[in-house]
Amino acid sequence: SYPHRLSDKSAEQGFCKFFKALPEKPDTLLRLFERNGGDYYSVHGEDALFVAQAVYKTSSVIKYLGADAPRGLPSCTLSKLNANSLLRDLLMVKLYRVEIWGGGANRGKWEIVKKASPGNLQAVEEMLFSNHVVSSSPVVLAVKVGTRGEQKLVGIAYSDATINRVLGVAEFVDNDTFSNFESLLIQLSVKECVIPDDSQSYELKKMVTILNRCQVVVTERKKVDFGIANVEQDLDRLIDGLGEERTASSLPEFEFKLAMGCTACLIKYLDLMGDESNFHQYSLTQHDLAQFMKLDAAAVKALNLMPGPMDGSNKNMSLYGLLNNCQTAQGSRMLAQWLKQPLLSLPDIEMRQTLVEVFCNDTELRQGLQEEHLKRFPDLHRLCKKFQRGKATLQDVIVVYQVVIRLPALNDLLQDYSGDNADVITEVYTAQLKEYIENLAKFRDLVESTIDLDAIENNQFMVKPDFDESLLHARQKMDEIFAQMEPEAERVADSLGLQYGQKLKFENSPQYGYHMRVTRADSGAVRNKKYIELATRNNGILFQTRELQDLSNEFMDLSAEYQRLQANFANEIISVVLSFTTIFEITNELVAHLDVILR
């Protein structure tokens, strides 16, 4: 993997000069430089040496810009795939910070375009999770210390902006060792803590020691960021249900002035007001430290509750790894939460034990739920986030729709249980699922009346053509072209003496359009003949005839035109689906609960 070579020596020298003038950075900060509009990335200096070992396991990928070694600037590049993988490891395992620099193509005017830290992943979410599940919640917490008479008073605010749009607050009395604060860090699985920039505070120094012990990244912000002058109006715009008639000042949580200062800091740190898709999407909740058993860092370590950064893929190194047989990402996150929040309420403990007993004793029911339903259940939290941010597509609508149409079968399977504790299953699961199914009936009707479900079989996500005359005309032309393609593939199969559908397959891909594929064993029938070879892969040779290529290209052009014509209709559908995200979220929580009990 070779580093980006600038267009000429003077430009290369200019980049080296720019890079060496950058401010010093801690070892736990890595700088990535976007190249060719983000098609790939470069790293330089100590970062390049780190990446060479961490990603490539060899220093042979290092090249030098500006001069030969050792005076040149050590450099190497990362593909988009490698960069995304590196970011996941740095931010979620090694707890690094990351800066992504861009704009270099504009006369070398580099600037930071994205920043991320373990508790603030919003800028790089698409890079981290576009093809990966979110297995842990990146919680960021802000803390401020005050006094109440002779007692130390701790105010906190926390958020998990990647998974749940929740702002949580708490204020509590603590002792000289801040043991309650340490328990809170464990309960919430905090990844990053924002503290006031106050080097003279003895209390904050002790808190930093605790944060380091709990492996929480510490971020300092100016004291003025903890001011509460604007927090009421910010909360009025962020919290669902607040506005002119009911303001944040009417909420009981608003009386916690230290916590409100932390909330103000968190809102600013996460730049929640800079994204209008956040408005009226958050909820404000109060965390009760006393409802769970208190654990400290020493107990978590002694019990090996959670995997450590050096455990790698060995699941047997932690209790979480041993217990986590969850089928869904949301189930895995809830299991981690339960392990760090042991219940104190006897009725709640007995309820969980009863549910575990039911599924443990009924193997058929347990396996049916896991294999037939949970294995195919997506992370609705992540999908809801896409809808709320205006980044969802019709394909996302279909993914949720496929969940919704399977819910009745899931509910029926649970309702079929007739053992001694059937009433518990009804109370915890089926009664709620029945209500959710009823509330989602209008969503199901919306999808079935507006989206062409038949086209999904061909991996096409389209509005029904009868919505508009121009759509109908474009779709008719597409159907005419499509009707000519498969017969062409069948003709080729006959001419080659290969069984259509078995030896020769007719396929579609975003890169090559419609094409044919034969196995490598049958590749001799294709090669050196009047066919257009597209690619050689492990599963065979991809090829087209000239006629199929022309038909495929025409079909793809028509499909692009159809997408352009349907854009407004699709946006209207997606905006209506947005109103169902609350019910999607609570359905997701119920499924996560079921997944953990079954695991």
Please spell the DSSP secondary structure of 525-541, one letter per residue: GTTTSS-EEEEEETTEE
Q: Which residues contact 439 (CB under 8 A, 6 or more apart)?
A: 583
SS3 category, 111: strand
Comparing C-alpha atoms, which of 147, 87, 144 is closest to residue 118? 87
Comparing C-alpha atoms, which of 471, 460, 481 is closest to residue 564? 471
Cβ–Cβ contacts within 10 Å for residue 482, how many? 17
Question: What values do phi and psi take at 165, rounded to 5?
Answer: -85, 80
User: How far, in Å, CA of 492 to CA of 410, rounded?
Assistant: 45
Cα-based distances in Å from 194 to 5, 102, 221, 296: 39, 27, 7, 20
User: How far, in Å, CA of 371 to CA of 360, rounded?
Assistant: 15
DSSP secondary structure string for all residues of 547-587: HHHHHHHHHHHHHHHHHHHHHHHHHHHHHHHGGGHHHHHHH
* Residue-range domains of the chain with CATH: 9-116 (3.40.1170.10), 139-297 (3.30.420.110), 343-599 (1.10.1420.10)
User: How far, in Å, CA of 301 to CA of 318, rounded?
Assistant: 9
Omega before 196 within 30 of 0, i.e. cis? no
Given a contact cutoff of 8 angstroms between Cβ atoms, the answer to whether 223 and 264 are in contact is no
- Lookup: tokens for 96: 């690094």
- Lookup: tokens for 585: 């979220």
What's the distance, Cα to Cα, between the start and end of the chain in Å? 42
Residue with tokens 């060479």: 52
SS3 category, 78: strand
DSSP-derived secondary structure letter, 524 = G
User: How far, in Å, CA of 389 to CA of 383, rounded?
Assistant: 10
List average pLDDT for each run of 10 residues in the chain, which is 599 residues long: 51 85 93 90 94 92 85 91 92 91 78 92 83 75 91 93 83 93 94 91 92 93 93 92 84 93 94 88 90 91 83 78 92 92 93 94 93 92 86 92 95 92 94 96 94 85 85 90 94 92 91 92 83 90 94 92 87 92 94 94
**Exposure string for 6-38, b = 16+ CB within 10 A, e = fewer:** beeeeebeebbeebeeeeeeeeeebbbbbbeee
What confidence score (pLDDT) does residue 564 get?
Answer: 87
- Lookup: tokens for 234: 């910010």
Going 517 to 520 to 521 to 525, the CA torsion angle's sign is positive
What confidence score (pLDDT) does residue 4 get?
Answer: 46
Continuous segment of H or E residues that includes residue 14: helix 9-20
Given a contact cutoff of 8 angstroms between Cβ atoms, the answer to whether 193 and 142 are in contact is yes
SS3 category, 271: coil
Question: What is the chain's length?
Answer: 599
Pairing relationship of beta strands 111-116 and 97-102 according to DSSP bridges: antiparallel
- Lookup: tokens for 134: 């979110």
User: How far, in Å, CA of 79 to CA of 91, rounded?
Assistant: 18
User: How far, in Å, CA of 148 to CA of 154, rounded?
Assistant: 10
Residue with tokens 């509460």: 228
What confidence score (pLDDT) does residue 312 get?
Answer: 64
User: How far, in Å, CA of 312 to CA of 93, rounded?
Assistant: 10
Given a contact cutoff of 8 angstroms between Cβ atoms, the answer to whether 98 and 30 are in contact is yes
Residue with tokens 């409802």: 291
Chain CA centroid to CA 412, Å: 31
User: How far, in Å, CA of 382 to CA of 354, rounded?
Assistant: 31
Q: Which residues contact 398 (CB under 8 A, 6 or more apart)?
A: 447, 451, 456, 461
Edge-first strand order for the sheet with 532-537 is: 504-509, 513-518, 540-544, 532-537
What confidence score (pLDDT) does residue 331 get?
Answer: 93
What confidence score (pLDDT) does residue 538 get?
Answer: 87
User: How far, in Å, CA of 274 to CA of 282, rounded?
Assistant: 14
Cα-based distances in Å from 361 to 354, 358, 502: 11, 6, 44
Given a contact cutoff of 8 angstroms between Cβ atoms, the answer to whether 185 and 210 are in contact is yes
